[in-house]
Structure 1
């Protein structure tokens, strides 16, 4: 991952880096890896995330089609 610093503006580059890391899910991954997660908990979490993604996609699709 690479962020360029323009006009010695390190704060702006740092903000851009944090935004990129957030979008990639690095912070979420770090938080998950701090402690051991039981396989059953991992399975339940991943299932819940999949349901959340599916609902979000259906909501966006309905909004595009003019349902909402």
Structure 2
């Protein structure tokens, strides 16, 4: 089964930050998603995590927690 587009993209971004400290990486990725992702994509990603987050890199789970805290959808 092929990953949903936003899952694939989020995981690709997570790979680029794998060598960073996890908290810093999550903050930087959250900033990227706020700047460059359409709000609908962020909303889909958040909903995906709320439904269990199947297929997502664990770093993206932390990113979504930051987006929720900042109420950015």
TM-score range, shorter chain: 0.3 to 0.5
Question: Whose radius of gyration is greater, 1 or 2?
Answer: 1
TM-score scaled by structure 1?
0.34
Greater relative contact order (Cα < 8 A, sep 6+): 2
